[in-house]
Chains A and B, each alone.
Chain A
Amino acid sequence: MSKLLIDVGSTYFKVCQTSGISQYFRDFKKDIYDDLITKCGNIFANYKKEDIFICSSANGGLSTLIIGLTNSFSLKFAKNIAFNSGINIIDTILYSKIEESRAPSELVDVVIIVGGIDGIGKVFDEKLFYYLKNVQYSNIVYVGTKQDVSFLSAQIPELKVLGNIITEKLHVNGGELKEYLTNLYQADIVGKEDIKHLYEITANQIYSTPYIVNRSLPLIDANFEVVNPFIVVDIGGATTDIHYSRDLVRDNIVSESGYDRLVFKKLGVFKSRETLIFAAKNNEFVYELLSYLNVTENILEEESEKALRILMQLSIFLVLYKVSRLNPLYVTLHLDLLNTIVLTGGITKVLSYEEVEMIMQFFYKKVMNLHATPNIVMDYDYAIWTLGMENNESKEPKCL
Chain B
Amino acid sequence: MNPLQKICVNYTFNNVKIECKIIQILGQSMKVVTGVVGNDIHVVANRLIDISLQARGFEVFNLGVNTSLEEFIDAVVETDADILLISSLNGEAEGWCRDLQFLRSEYDLRDVVFVIGGNLAVGEAAQSDIVPKYKSYGFDLVFHQIDLNTGLDEIERFVKERA
Binding site for B on A (CB under 8 A): 69-74, 96, 115-117, 120, 166, 169-170, 252
In the complex, the chain A residue whose C-beta lies closest to that of B76 is: A70
Q: Is the CB of B78 within 8 A of A74?
A: yes
User: Which of A69, A169, A252 sits near B77, CB closer than 8 Å?
Assistant: A69
B63, B73, B79: most-surrounded residue (chain A CB, <10 A): B79
Q: How far is the CA of A169 from the CA of B74 in the complex (A)?
A: 14
Nearest CB on B from A128, distance (A): 16
* 14 more A-B residue pairs beyond the given contacts A72-B70, A166-B78, A170-B63, with a C-beta to C-beta distance below 8 A: A69-B77, A69-B78, A70-B73, A70-B77, A70-B78, A72-B71, A74-B78, A116-B79, A117-B78, A120-B79, A120-B80, A170-B75, A170-B78, A252-B63
Q: Scan B76-103; emit 1 where CB is below 8 A from any A CB, else 0.
A: 0111100000000000000000000000
Q: Is the CB of A170 within 8 A of B70?
A: no
Q: How far is the CA of A96 from the CA of B80 in the complex (A)?
A: 15
Q: How far is the CA of A117 from the CA of B79 in the complex (A)?
A: 6
Nearest CB on A from B31, distance (A): 9
Kindly count the residue-residue contacts between A and B in the assembled complex, taking CB atoms under 8 Å apart: 36
Write 5 A-B pairs (CB below 8 A) sorted by A numbering: A71-B70, A72-B70, A117-B78, A170-B61, A170-B75
In the complex, the chain A residue whose C-beta lies closest to that of B70 is: A72
Q: How far is the CA of A96 from the CA of B76 in the complex (A)?
A: 14
In the complex, the chain B residue whose C-beta lies closest to that of A116 is: B78
Nearest CB on A from B1, distance (A): 22
Residues of A near B107 (CB, < 8 A) are 96
Interface majority SS (helix, strand, loop, mixed), chain A: loop
Q: How far is the CA of A92 from the CA of B34 in the complex (A)?
A: 27
In the complex, the chain A residue whose C-beta lies closest to that of B79 is: A117
Residues of B near A116 (CB, < 8 A) are 78-80
Residues of A near B61 (CB, < 8 A) are 169-170
Nearest CB on B from A70, distance (A): 4
Residues of B near A73 (CB, < 8 A) are 74-75, 78
Pairs A-B, 7 closest by C-beta atoms: A70-B74, A72-B74, A120-B80, A72-B71, A73-B78, A70-B77, A117-B79
Residues of B near A170 (CB, < 8 A) are 61, 63, 75, 78-79
User: Which of B68, B75, B106 sits near A96, CB closer than 8 Å?
Assistant: B106
In the complex, the chain B residue whose C-beta lies closest to that of A170 is: B61
Q: How far is the CA of A69 from the CA of B76 in the complex (A)?
A: 11
Q: How far is the CA of A72 from the CA of B73 in the complex (A)?
A: 9
Q: How far is the CA of A170 from the CA of B60 in the complex (A)?
A: 11
Residues of B near A166 (CB, < 8 A) are 78
Q: How far is the CA of A277 from the CA of B10 in the complex (A)?
A: 66
Residues of A near B79 (CB, < 8 A) are 116-117, 120, 170
Nearest CB on B from A146, distance (A): 14
In the complex, the chain A residue whose C-beta lies closest to that of B106 is: A96
